[in-house]
Structure 1
Amino acid sequence: MTATELTLQERELMDPASVDDIEWAVRLLAATPTHEGRDRGLLRQWARKADEFGSRLAPVPCTALVIERDSGLERMLLARYTSRPPTVELYTDTLTLAEELVDAHGWRAWYPPGSVRAAALAHEAVHAHLHHGPAKAALKQALGHSALRIGPLRVPGYVAGAEEVAAHAYARTVCGLGRSPLLLTAALHAALTRPGREN
């Protein structure tokens, strides 16, 4: 097979950096339950607004207990926030694979040494911030989605996946990354789901 015979999907699997950050955000939203069949234009609009919202958030400290453990590869998780008690679980095996992928793809300029861990902590800190504070309502307002409209009255609606897009944009901004962690997430997913991979 020559390079010209490769499909767009095959090229993207070989080079996930050929997909821009907003398109990765659109794909995240499209793969989120409740968005099946939604218009791609609407998903792109929400992705842009969530990305802008996350990139404008003021720095948020990570005040949750941080626990490092293995088993992220089988769960396909880099990190996870739980609220009771506020805890961030960092999966060291997935962090290690992420760092290996950064080197393998030549993305070190976008993700400097130590930035993957820092981005994971920043990402989860925003989940805690959105869970416990007024920022969740502000994100709903920024997205402009209505759950209910009666005349001039509007109830802002929840957009599944928007918090995830905002958290990735926040991590990209506060950690000074050249690309969104969504790109690294896509590369991790491709590596963990490729045929013949041993877990």
Structure 2
Amino acid sequence: MTVVRATPATWHPDDIDHAVRLLAATPTHEGRDPDLLRQWALTATEFGASLPATPCHARIVQLQGGLDEGLLARYTSRPAPTLTLFTDSVQLAERVIAENGWRDWYPPGSVRAAALAHEAVHAQLHHGPHRARLKRALGHVVLRFGRRRVYGHVAGTEEIAAHAYAQVTCGLGRSPLVLTTALSEHLNLPPLTHSDRREN
């Protein structure tokens, strides 16, 4: 699949709006300044898009039942890293893409590829040095000791970064957030997620 490296100038405004809405709906962000949420959304998007490509090392399992749980994929780290792809959700996503004429944005097979890319970068953001780098980029200072600053976690930004990473590495014309929003509206459910991460 051809990789189309997006740049800040090419982000579709609606994609950033979707990211802002994701943050606004995330607990701990109630009452946050909308401009701050937009700044965080754009920073997380740019950060995710800039990350180097990395393979998904988790064992891949394909099952039905994702629509019942509102999931496209689920990652578990124990007893062994496993990524479960819910084939019913993937099939519905492909149908929604076709019905909306979005095939130029989401080529055949890209839903599965995006889910794998999404999880691969989540592992980096959860366990690797990119987590600290993202915190610094967001600039959310929670504590100061003289010249030292402690940067806090901004809930929801890792998800936005992972979506941006998937968009870039899979050559998608629009963010996967657009697709997950359309799926949730189709099913009249809360936003369908690429990942319900479980670490135990």
Distance 1:80 1:149 in 2: 37
Aligned to 1:143: 138
Describe the SS at the equivalent of 2:85.
strand
Q: CA deviation at 1:149?
A: 2.0
Structure 1 runs of 4+ off > 3 angstroms?
Answer: none
Counterpart contact for 1:81–1:128, Cα < 8 Å: no
Aligned to 1:105: 100
Task: Pick 1 or 2: higher relative contact order, CA cutoff 8 A, min separation 6.
Answer: 2
Q: CA deviation at 1:150?
A: 3.2
Distance 2:59 2:82 in 1: 5
Aligned to 2:114: 119
Percent of residue pairs identical: 64
Q: How many residues align?
A: 177
Aligned to 1:62: 56
Describe the SS at the equivalent of 1:89.
strand
Distance 1:53 1:37 in 2: 25
Aligned to 1:41: 35
Aligned to 2:45: 51
Distance 1:167 1:48 in 2: 13
| Corresponding position: 1:28 with 2:22 | yes
Counterpart contact for 1:98–1:116, Cα < 8 Å: yes
Query: Where does the alignment leave 5 or more consecutive residues of structure 1 unmatched?
Result: 1-17, 195-199
Aligned to 1:154: 149
Counterpart contact for 1:147–1:158, Cα < 8 Å: no
Q: CA RMSD in A?
A: 1.3
Aligned to 2:192: none
Instruction: After superposition, give the CA deviation of every residue in 1:14-38 in whole Å (9 maximum; x if it has no partner).
Output: xxxx971000000001111111111
Counterpart contact for 1:54–1:165, Cα < 8 Å: yes
Letter of the structure 2 residue corresponding to residue 31 of structure 1: A
Of Structure 1 and Structure 2, the greater helix share is in: 1
TM-score after normalising by structure 1: 0.86
Structure with greater Cα Rg: 1
Describe the SS at the equivalent of 1:59.
coil
Describe the SS at the equivalent of 2:97.
helix
